[in-house]
């Protein structure tokens, strides 16, 4: 067990704690906090993968902005009902777990098992720096970038319309 492996295991345990918390905590605020933990540790996992910029963007956009928005909405709606706790005996809970289990085992067996040994790919590790990503984003991916900016604009207009209109 090397230092890297220990670091990865600790991070992934935290991330999984967050993921479990999102699904099984009974108040929305706690779920949101669990999701923040998940997103934050996921950002650190991205660092381990060498994607510095994506990792910090993950923390800034997801953990910093999107989740604050979620918390804001939860509080403004005062949707703090505790009745939403998933019932273990419920039919859909059992069937969703069954289905998820089947898909999980199949993907694990046929996709992930073969990659368990895959390590040691040597190539330049500067691919995650802002310089590299910026260069590619504004040359090769300029069109998708523009389209996404249009999409964000549409999103802004749409959310303002939704918020303004009185039903």
Partner 1 sequence: MIPILTHLPFAAVFDEIPLGWFLTLSLVMFTLGAVGVVVRRNPVVVFMCIELMLNAVNLTFLAFAAYPTQMVALSNPGEAAITGQMVVIFVMAIAAAEVAVGLGIIMAIFRLRNEADVDDMNTMRG
Partner 2 sequence: MVAEFFLRLNAENPLLLGLIRVLFVVIAILSLVPPLIWWERRLLSWMQDRIGPNRSGTITFPDNFPLKGLAGKKVRTFGLIQPLLDGLKLFLKEDITPNSVDRKIYFIAPAIALFPAFALGATLPWGPSTGLYGILTPVADVEIGILYVLAISSLGAYGIVLAGYASNNKYSMMGALRASAQLISYELAMAMSVAAIIMATGSMKLTQVVSAQEEPLWGVVPWAHNWFILTPFGLISAIIFLIAVIAETNRAPFDLPEAENELIAGYHTEYSSMKFAVFFMGEYAAMFIFSGVFATLFLGGYNILPIDWSYLAAATGNGFFKMLAGANYWLAPLVFLGKCFMGITFFIWLRATLPRLRYDQLMDLGWKSMLPIAVANFIVVGLWIICTTLYGAGGGWIAAIAAMILFVILYLNILNTSRKANPAAPSRTITMVKSPAKTETP
Please name the residues in contact with 23: beta carbons below 8 A apart, sequence gap of 6 or more.
31, 86
Maximum Cα interatomic distance, the chain, rounded to a whole number of Å: 59
CB contact at 8 A, 21 and 30:
yes
CB of 122 to partner 2, least distance (A): 21
Per rule CB under 8 A, is residue 139 in the interface with partner 1? no
Cα gap 124→28, rounded to integer Å: 43
Per rule CB under 8 A, is residue 35 in the interface with partner 1? yes
Question: 47 is written with which tokens?
Answer: 């660092």
Residue 105 binding: pick among partner 1, partner 2, none (C-beta 5-8 Å cut-off by kind): none
Per rule CB under 8 A, is residue 110 in the interface with partner 1? no
Per rule CB under 8 A, is residue 142 in the interface with partner 1? no
Cα gap 145→141, rounded to integer Å: 6
CB of 138 to partner 2, least distance (A): 12
Residue 88 binding: pick among partner 1, partner 2, none (C-beta 5-8 Å cut-off by kind): none
CB of 82 to partner 2, least distance (A): 11
CB contact at 8 A, 96 and 23:
no
For partner 2, the binding residues (CB under 8 A) are 27, 29-30, 33, 36, 40, 52-53, 56-57, 59-60, 63-65, 68-69, 71-72, 75-76, 129-131
């Amino acid at each position: 067990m090397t230092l890297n492996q220990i670091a990865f295991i600790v991070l992934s345990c935290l991330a999984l704690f967050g993921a479990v918390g999102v699904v099984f905590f009974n108040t929305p605020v706690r779920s949101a906090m669990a999701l923040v933990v998940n997103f934050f540790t996921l950002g650190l996992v991205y660092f381990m993968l060498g994607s510095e910029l994506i990792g910090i963007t993950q923390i800034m956009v997801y953990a910093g902005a999107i989740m604050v928005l979620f918390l804001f909405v939860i509080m403004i709606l005062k949707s703090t009902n505790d009745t939403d706790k998933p019932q273990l005996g419920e039919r859909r809970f059992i069937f969703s777990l069954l289905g998820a289990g089947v898909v999980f085992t199949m993907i694990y067996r046929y996709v992930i098992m073969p990659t368990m040994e895959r390590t040691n790919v040597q190539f330049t590790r500067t691919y995650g720096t802002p310089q590299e990503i910026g260069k590619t984003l504004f040359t090769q991916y300029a069109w998708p970038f523009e389209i996404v900016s249009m999409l964000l604009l549409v999103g802004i207009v749409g959310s303002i319309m939704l918020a303004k209109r009185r039903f």
